[in-house]
Amino acid sequence: MPHSKITGVGMYVPETVVTNNDLSKVMDTTDEWIVERTGIRERRFFKEGEDTVSSMGAKAAQQALERAGKKPEDVDFIVFATLSSDYNFPGSGVLLQRKLPFRQIGAVDVRAQCSGFIYALSIADQYIRTGTYKTILVVGSEVQSNVFEKSDRGRNMAVIFGDGAGAVVVEATDEPNKGILTTKLHSDGRFAEELYLEHPGSRRKERFNPDMIEKGELLPYMNGKLVFMNAVKYFPEVIREALADCNLKESDIDLLVPHQANARITVAIQKEFNLPDEKIVSNIDKYGNTTAASIPIALCEAWEQGRIKDGDLIAIAGFGSGFMWASALIRW
């Protein structure tokens, strides 16, 4: 039976670097506060007219395809994870489809926020295991710098998030004990409103009105402490679930690539698994939290730095809005 293997990784981040000091000029915050609470030193902001979620996804995809030795016409399906699609509809998958361009293949958007990339990877893995497709492009891309208000009112979230994209090519393989070993997906919708953006949604007669801007209702909401408490619980739990499924031990992990939510969450996971620095990836200091893009960007950088070798056991895990959380184990 075929299973799937990641054969190419790619990333793209916009050129504009925004430091904590830059933010402190437009809102009441400090570099010290942000670094201490989140580990973030700078992030990238997209350039209007140049970058979009789909165009950044296309650049990351192009790099991943080149590294996999594949052409756009080789791709059978696109799974695109984002919470910040170019349009409300259609999704960014089809905008990517026309960009490179690909054949008239299927293209689906996944809305699973910080766990989006793993949900997307899992969908790709299932299509390959059933023999439906042979080569799938999985993308995570976000533009978030324009959803947060760069003001005192928006500071609690504006300092955390950034823009960027990552992509992987997933291909069918018959090589035993290689590739994606397992994926684990979870959600608990009771917490949906603890990290969310209500408007413009479809619940009200008017999707939005000028009042909403005034009242700050077009801004996302996050219950930071509750997110933190649940993240440090579910990250380890879902990684252990994947290990148990494959009869592997915590000490078998060669590299852990967690969603870059917050450096303090990453440190908590590192301590929980007793991992030395070289076995965990943290690049949130450079990019902030890029939601669905954070895992493929971190994976791509780790690969470029030679931190991923043939045969290594790579664990990836995410937790975020929904709440949704997920993990995957990959034998490289």
Q: Please list the active-site residues.
A: 114, 259, 289
Complex with ligand ACO: residue 8 or 162, whichever CB lies closer:
162
Give whichever of 2 and 224 is closer to ligand ACO, judged by the CB atom: 224
Whole-number minimum distance, CB 110 to ligand ACO, in Å? 16
Q: How far is the CB of 265 from ligand ACO (least distance, A)?
A: 6
DSSP letters along 271-301, please? HHHT--GGGB---HHHH-B-GGGHHHHHHHH
Give the tokens for residue 286. Answer: 């450079």
In the bound state with ligand ACO, the residue whose beta carbon lies nearer, of 27 and 212, is: 27
In which residue are the tokens 């010290």 written? 32
Residues 6+ apart with CB under 8 A from 138: 79, 81, 117, 120, 121, 124, 167, 168, 169, 170, 296
Nearest approach, Cβ of residue 44 and ligand ACO (Å): 16
Q: Which is nearer to ligand ACO, 189 or 311 (CB)?
A: 189
Residue nearest to ligand ACO according to CB distances in the complex = 224
Query: Helix or strand or coil: residue 120?
Result: helix
Identify the CA nearest to 118 among candidates 252, 242, 262, 247.
242
Distance CA 265, CA 272 (A): 11
Nearer to ligand ACO, 131 or 216 (CB): 216
- Is residue 3 within a helix (H) or strand (E), and if so which, with residue range? strand 3-12
How far is it, in rounded angstroms, from Cα 319 to Cα 123?
17
Amino acid identity at 278: E
Task: Round to whole Å and give the CA distance between 166 and 185.
Answer: 20
Closer to ligand ACO at the Cβ: 94 or 261?
A: 261
| Distance from the first to the final alpha carbon of the chain | 18
Tell me how far, at minimum, the Cβ of 103 lies from ligand ACO, in Å: 34
Tell the smallest beta-carbon distance from residue 254 to ligand ACO (Å). Answer: 24
Residue pair 121/321 in contact by the 8 Å Cβ criterion: no
And the tokens for 233?
């619980």
Interface contacts to ligand ACO, rule CB under 6 A: 29, 33, 37-38, 114, 155-156, 159-160, 195, 224-225, 227-228, 231, 261-262, 264-265, 289, 319-320
Q: Are 140 and 166 in contact (CB under 8 A)?
A: yes
- b/e string for 295-304 if b means 16 or more Cβ within 10 A? bbbbbbbbbe
Residue 153 or 207 having the CB closest to ligand ACO: 153
CB of 121 to ligand ACO, least distance (A): 17
Report, in Å, the least distance between residue 151 CB and ligand ACO.
11
